[in-house]
Copies of this chain bind each other. A is one copy, B any other.
Amino acid sequence: MKRYHLEVRVKPRPGLLDPQGKAVAHALSDLGYAGVADVRVGKILDVELDAPSETEARERGEEMCRKLLANPVTEDFEVTVAGILEDA
């Protein structure tokens, strides 16, 4: 068993309303940033997970996304193993 650091990125589906992103883009241009073409806001979860292998860790992470971490109706997700923390 090792402890893996999973980075889980959950982002709003393209095409879906993202008022938060819009508000941030608006605020940025108010602040004088001219070149901001688009902003989308999602969630990032750092999950520390004990698993026998990297593949297993990632697969469990993806399963967690399907079950809980992402809403299949409105969100896409992506799981990467960002690091191995220690032997658990």
**Which residue numbers of A lie inside 8 Å of B, CB to CB?**
1, 3, 9-11, 21, 24, 27-28, 31, 33-51, 60, 64, 67-69, 88
Contacts and interface: CB of A to CB of B under 8 A. Distances in A.
Number of copies: 2
Given A21-B45, A28-B64, 9 more contacts: A11-B44, A21-B46, A31-B67, A31-B68, A35-B51, A35-B60, A36-B49, A37-B49, A42-B45
A33 B48 CA distance: 12
Secondary structure dominating the interface of A: strand
Contacts of A45: 21, 24, 39-42
Given A27-B68, A31-B68, A47 B36 contact: yes
